[in-house]
Each structure stands twice: as C-alpha cells, then as structure tokens.
Chain A
Amino acid sequence: MTAAPPGIPEEELLAPGHRACAGCGCVLAMRYLLKALGRNIVVSMATGCMEVVTTPYPETSWRVPWIHSAFENAAATAAGIAAGLKALGKKGVKSVAIAGDGGTADIGLQALSGAVERGDNVLFCCYDNEAYQNTGIQRSGATPFGAWTTTTPIGRVKRGEDRPKKDVPAIIAAHGAPYVATASVAYPLDFINKLRRAAAIEGPTYVHVHAPCVPGWRIETSKTIEVARLAVLTGAWVLYEIERGQLRVTFKPPKRRPVADYLKLQGRFRHLTEEEIAQIQRMVDEQCRRFGIE
C-alpha cells in the first residue's frame, strides 16, 4: 500500500490548531472523513471528544458547515438537515452525523436507530475510542472486555470491564441499512473508500471507525497507528462491509497474530493475567471464526 494514493486530496478541510491530544486517533479519523467526503457535506456532531477539541468557541477546525447537537441526537439533527436539503432541492449535498462510541452505542442509539428505521438519507460515522475519554475515561457500551477505565477499576474483586463490547454495526445491519462498514485509522484507504461508498447511497448508511485514544488506552503518543493496526492484525477488530445484506471482509490478516501483541502495548490491559489473556484470545478466535478469518 502506498500511503498517499491518488484520489486522496491534499486539501485539508480540518484545520490545524485543534486541541486534540498529541497522537489522537479520532481526530485523524475526522481528517480522513473530510478527505473522503469533501466540501459538499453538512456535519451534525454529537457532544464528545471531537466536538470538544475541534470547536473551542469561538474557534472551529471545520471548513465545512458543522452543527453541534446534544449528546443523544446527532442522528436526529442530521435527519432534519437531510429533510431540509430535500425541501430546498439541494442535490449532491450529504447530511453526515458524527458521534463517538458514547454518542452512538449508548446515548445516541435511539436517535440513530430511528433515523435508520425511517430510511433517512444520512451517513452516520461513529469514531470508536472505546470509552468516554474526554470526561475522564468512563466505560461505555463499546469498552472491550477486560479493559481498565476509571469506572471499571482493577481491585481484588473487579478486573476491569466485565462485559463484551457492544456490537453496534450488527445492530444497525439488523435494521436493514443498505450499507454498514467497520474501519480503522490504521487503514486510511479502506476507511476512505467505505465512506465514499456509504455517501453515494441514498438512504441511511453507517461507518464505524476504530480509533485509539492515547490517554484512555494508556499508550505512547507515537503508537496510535501501530496499536490500531495490531487490533486488525490480531483479529480483535475486523474490517468488513455489509452492502444490501452481503457481508464482505475487506481485509483478512494473512497470519493472525496473538491478541497479546495488541493488549501488551496498552496500559489499560496491563493488569491482565495469562489466564485472562487466554480468555480474550478465545473471544477473538470465536469472532474471527464468525467472519471466516483463520
């Protein structure tokens, strides 16, 4: 893979000077999203990390129209914008909702479900850093099994998050959405292609991008891409798309690496015993079996 293949514009629609932490994976996802979709979009963004760091009032990093809604209703705001664009007869402008995993898996789920069920012409992008990171690393529905957060502490009784990660892409696919995809910031071309495919479809589409959080995952600032890539190479995060019900895995790791390689780079998994890592390995194996990954 070449890093900057033709078709990825050099124009930056996300301005520098934003207040994301050094090495932020999520703001990189925002940059890729703007490269993929260009200027003809209107963004509705839920409260969350990216809203906080890209719009420190009276400044904004966005060079496209952008609206901040509440935590729970990015999808509803975007549905209203889609209706408005239709009423005004504006063609070729896409309504895009963006929310973090909290604003998608937990707080924004009903608005997202409603928009998909009604068939609204909205592209919803979830950037998943696996906890409520900017408020102080509280667990969300998308926090993976075994992870430390400030609300899933490690002690004599509790061993971090005790529930598996909520499978939001599967929930949206179950609505019958015409396009659902997962992506990773370590595979920008794959992510950009999926966003473009999703935006081209008239109707509710969903792209879920896995993006490391430096302070929340307790990783080095330079390791963001390395960690995101290892999630894919170990099978802990699977890159796929479901187009009109047809599942296609878009990248199969050639020789799957042990999940410990992914876990051991992250402080949030530092407490795990060999037995607990073996348990997570079994969960990953089961997930890969379902997707036909060896």
Chain B
Amino acid sequence: MVEGDILKIIAGAVITEPGNTAQTETGSWRNFRPVIDEAKCTGCGMCWMFCPEPAISKGKPARVDYRYCKGCGICANECPFKAITMVPEGRD
C-alpha cells in the first residue's frame, strides 16, 4: 500500500505474547496417566530430561503437570528405577 511517498510494509502475523501456547491445556489429549511412586523415585531427573512437553518438574519426587501431559509414557519407559506407571484415564 502506498501512502504519500512512503511504501508501507505490512507486518505479517505477529504474536506478541511469548510462550502463550501455555494457555492451551493439552492434558485433555491423554489416555494414560503417569503416576510416580514416590518411594521409588530418586530424583535423578531422567523423566524431566526426556519429557517433550515439558510437563515434568525435576525434584525428589518428580512432579507431573497434568494440565499439559499428553500421556506419551516416555517417562515411564525411560525411568531407570521403574518408578512411573501408566494408568488408564477414567479409572482410579
């Protein structure tokens, strides 16, 4: 668009709030829920390291943020101490 002598370049789609996908809680995708056995957890951080969301915070015991966890089960598969069990959702 030309306005006077100045050629205005229209910016493309701009997102001004960094990291705002956090407003979308992808935990609703989950079919299986990781449950951490606090007695077995050593706080090694392996589950934190390999979580793609990220939805696990490091610590002893590690904590899962179920707002975002999609239930992939990488944490349970990689836990060196077998401290994480995948439990079907909708069952207690």
Chain A window 1-13, contacts with chain B (Cβ cutoff 8 Å), 1 for yes, 0 for no: 0111000101011
Cβ contact within 8 Å between B26 and A17? yes
Number of A interface residues, CB 8 Å?
43
Known: A15-B21, A17-B26, A61-B19. A225 touches B58 (CB 8 A): no
Q: Which of A23-31, A137-145, A283-291 contacts B (4 or more CB under 8 A)?
A: A23-31
A223 in the interface (beta carbon within 8 A): yes
Cβ contact within 8 Å between B15 and A57? yes
B38 in the interface (beta carbon within 8 A): no
Cβ contact within 8 Å between B72 and A23? yes
Q: Which residues of A contact B15 (CB under 8 A)?
A: 55, 57-60
Q: Which residues of A contact B55 (CB under 8 A)?
A: 16
Cβ contact within 8 Å between B77 and A17? no
Give the docked Cα–Cα distance between A27 and B55 (Å).
13
Contact of A2 among B22, B24, B44, B74 (CB under 8 A): B44
**Looking across the interface, which residue of chain A has its beta carbon closest to that of B15?**
A60
A18 in the interface (beta carbon within 8 A): yes
Q: Which residues of B contact A226 (CB under 8 A)?
A: 77-78
Give the docked Cα–Cα distance between A214 and B72 (Å).
10
Cβ contact within 8 Å between B21 and A56? yes
Contact of B25 among A17, A57, A223 (CB under 8 A): A17
Q: How far is the CB of B34 from chain A (nearest CB, A)?
A: 10
Q: Which residues of A contact B76 (CB under 8 A)?
A: 222
- Interface pairs (12), CB distance under 8 Å: A16-B54, A16-B55, A17-B26, A19-B21, A28-B52, A56-B24, A59-B15, A59-B24, A62-B19, A188-B49, A222-B73, A226-B77
Residues on A lying within 8 angstroms of B by beta carbon are 2-4, 8, 10, 12-25, 27-28, 31, 54-64, 68, 188, 214, 220-226
Q: Please give me the 9 A-B residue pairs with the lowest Cβ-Cβ distance, nearest first.
A: A222-B73, A4-B45, A15-B19, A23-B72, A17-B21, A3-B46, A22-B70, A16-B68, A22-B72
